[in-house]
């Protein structure tokens, strides 16, 4: 059974559904609806629901940055903590022009469930600045980052809330944030941020971790579906940090990568793409489009190609009720957060398409961030092989726990992941009680 979502836009009162409206729900309302569905599955009490369907803290900051031409621009940023019952808050920082508080709240809530689903001792948070980082110089980017870090510093710290990279941010930006927090404290606080360069307390294997986790789970799902991984085909939407490492690792595992794309469009060759030649092409052309040994496809067409595995690893809401019936993959590994819209879940489920949901598909990032934080706190660092082995253990265990719940409760994989995660957070919240 897939968990269905009514198309209502009102935030429902705890446990009850709001009026039916035709307008599309906001990102946070969608996140609340996913939570409500999970709460229904596990029979969560109304009291427990009330706290968990809201965020704990939301900080909005407006701050000035002097541009290289001497002008001053005021930027808006956020840091939201959804829940800290199971440990410090954990969540990335996104630099993107199209972001607002509503989406940051939704992403913070998703982080709570993601950490709980894979069993690491964190709550959930998210940060963002409404900015297009590609339009800033390195100098402007550093100033913006240091000022934003200062503005949210009251919430950040190894025991409180630990940021990491997300869309539009990278290890260099994490190094600037760590340095800024450290300057305020008067000593190095490496464990205040993860996803840093290895030179300043970063972890081996962190950059590739989301793609590596997605790869491990794709291979486990194929095994579960009794599909021999050799000779199977893959299409990957979004050839960025997550998409590229997933592509490379799946190719190394013997699968044939037939299509990839970026924001400018995609390429398709049913006989397989030459990834080494493609990387050379990207270095010259700055994107995958125009690659000679493949045909051009749009991002929409890529999703509907006849492949075994589809990995949407770019942006949210690319598989919706409009195209779900045309997806031909047997397995979807949801690399990007919320790539599949709620309305599409039941359609895919009914069509027998197996989904590895975002909440675990890209959790390799936060799992290795957890390892980074542990290594920083101990000032004792592990080899990459050890990290990859531990990542495999944690993410595969989570996959089978979720699969077990999915089969036992006869619900789809996303609903099962949410049910497990919400139960864990609810247990922690209940056993701690209400202060004072």
Q: Which residues are catalytically annotated? A: 126
**Residues 304-363, interacting with ligand NAD (CB under 6 A):** 313-315, 335-337, 362
If we measure between CA atoms, which residue out of 221, 246, 250, 413 comes closest to residue 335? 246
Whether the CB-CB separation of 417 and 239 falls below 8 Å is answered with no
The strand pair at 265-268 and 295-297 is best described as antiparallel
CB of 433 to ligand NAD, least distance (A): 33
CB of 194 to ligand NAD, least distance (A): 10
**360 or 425, CB closer to ligand NAD?**
360
Whether the CB-CB separation of 203 and 368 falls below 8 Å is answered with yes
CB of 116 to ligand NAD, least distance (A): 16
Distance from C-alpha of 259 to C-alpha of 236, rounded to nearest angstrom: 6
CB of 77 to ligand NAD, least distance (A): 17
Q: Taking CB under 6 A as the rule, does residue 165 contact ligand NAD?
A: yes
**335 or 346, CB closer to ligand NAD?**
335
Token digits of residue 16: 């009850």
3-class DSSP assignment, residue 149: helix
Q: How many CB atoms lie within 10 A of CB 375?
A: 20
- For 50-122, list the strands marked E by DSSP: 57-66, 72-83, 89-96
Q: Which of 117, 131, 141, 167 binds ligand NAD (CB under 6 A)?
A: 167
Q: Taking CB under 6 A as the rule, does residue 91 contact ligand NAD?
A: no
Q: Taking CB under 6 A as the rule, does residue 197 contact ligand NAD?
A: no
Distance from C-alpha of 136 to C-alpha of 67, rounded to nearest angstrom: 8
Output the CA–CA distances (angstroms, integers) from residue 57 to 60, 166, 339, 356, in the order listed: 10, 20, 26, 30
Q: Taking CB under 6 A as the rule, does residue 104 contact ligand NAD?
A: no
Q: Which of 263, 298, 378, 389 binds ligand NAD (CB under 6 A)?
A: 263
- Binding part of the chain for ligand NAD, among 36-44, 256-264, 342-350, 371-379 by CB under 6 A, reads 256-264
3-class DSSP assignment, residue 200: helix
**Residues 215-254, interacting with ligand NAD (CB under 6 A):** 237-243
If we measure between CA atoms, which residue out of 416, 425, 426, 429 comes closest to residue 37? 416
**168 or 346, CB closer to ligand NAD?**
168
**163 or 210, CB closer to ligand NAD?**
210
**156 or 366, CB closer to ligand NAD?**
366
Q: Taking CB under 6 A as the rule, does residue 140 contact ligand NAD?
A: no
CB of 20 to ligand NAD, least distance (A): 29
The strand pair at 309-312 and 233-237 is best described as parallel
**238 or 346, CB closer to ligand NAD?**
238
> Measured between alpha carbons, how far apart are the two ends of the chain, in Å?
41
CB of 178 to ligand NAD, least distance (A): 16
Q: Which positions lie near ligand NAD, rule CB under 6 A?
A: 165-167, 210, 237-243, 261-263, 299, 313-315, 335-337, 362, 365
């Amino acid at each position: 059974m897939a968990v269905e979502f009514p198309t209502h836009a009102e935030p429902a009162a705890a446990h009850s559904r709001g009026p039916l409206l035709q307008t599309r729900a906001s990102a946070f309302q969608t996140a609340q609806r996913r939570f409500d569905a999970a709460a229904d599955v596990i029979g969560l009490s109304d009291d427990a629901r009330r706290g968990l369907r809201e965020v704990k803290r939301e900080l909005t900051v407006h701050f000035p940055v002097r541009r290289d031409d001497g002008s001053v621009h005021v930027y808006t940023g956020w840091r939201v903590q959804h829940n800290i019952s199971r440990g410090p808050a954990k969540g990335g920082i996104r630099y993107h022009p199209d972001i607002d508080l509503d989406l940051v709240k939704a992403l913070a809530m998703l982080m709570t469930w993601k950490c709980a689903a894979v069993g690491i001792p964190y709550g959930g948070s998210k940060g963002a600045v409404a900015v297009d980082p590609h339009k800033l110089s390195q100098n402007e980017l550093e100033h913006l980052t240091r000022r934003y870090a200062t503005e949210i510093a009251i919430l950040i710290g190894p025991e409180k809330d630990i940021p990491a990279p997300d869309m539009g941010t990278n290890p260099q930006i994490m190094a600037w944030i760590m340095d800024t927090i450290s300057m305020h404290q008067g000593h190095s606080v490496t464990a205040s941020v993860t996803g840093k360069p290895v030179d300043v307390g970063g972890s081996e294997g962190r950059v590739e971790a989301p793609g590596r986790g997605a790869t491990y789970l794709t291979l486990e799902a194929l095994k579960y579906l009794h599909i021999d991984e050799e000779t199977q085909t893959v299409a990957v939407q979004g050839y960025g940090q997550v998409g590229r490492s997933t592509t490379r690792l799946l190719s190394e595992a013997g699968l044939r990568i037939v299509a990839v794309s970026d924001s400018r469009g995609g390429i398709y060759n049913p006989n397989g793409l030459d990834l080494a030649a493609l990387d050379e092409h990207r270095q010259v052309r700055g994107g995958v489009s125009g690659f000679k040994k493949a045909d051009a496809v749009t991002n929409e067409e890529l999703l509907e190609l006849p492949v075994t595995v589809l990995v949407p690893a770019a942006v949210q809401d690319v598989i919706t009720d409009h195209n779900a019936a045309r997806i031909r993959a047997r397995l979807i590994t949801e690399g990007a957060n919320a790539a599949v819209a709620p309305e599409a879940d039941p359609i895919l489920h009914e069509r027998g398409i197996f989904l590895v949901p975002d909440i675990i598909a890209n959790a390799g990032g936060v799992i290795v961030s957890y390892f980074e934080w542990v290594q920083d706190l101990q000032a004792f660092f592990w080899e990459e092989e050890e990290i990859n082995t531990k990542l495999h253990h944690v993410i595969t265990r989570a996959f089978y726990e979720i699969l077990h719940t999915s089969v036992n409760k006869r619900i789809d994989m996303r609903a099962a992941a949410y049910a497990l995660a919400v139960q864990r957070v609810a247990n922690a919240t209940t056993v701690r009680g209400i202060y004072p």
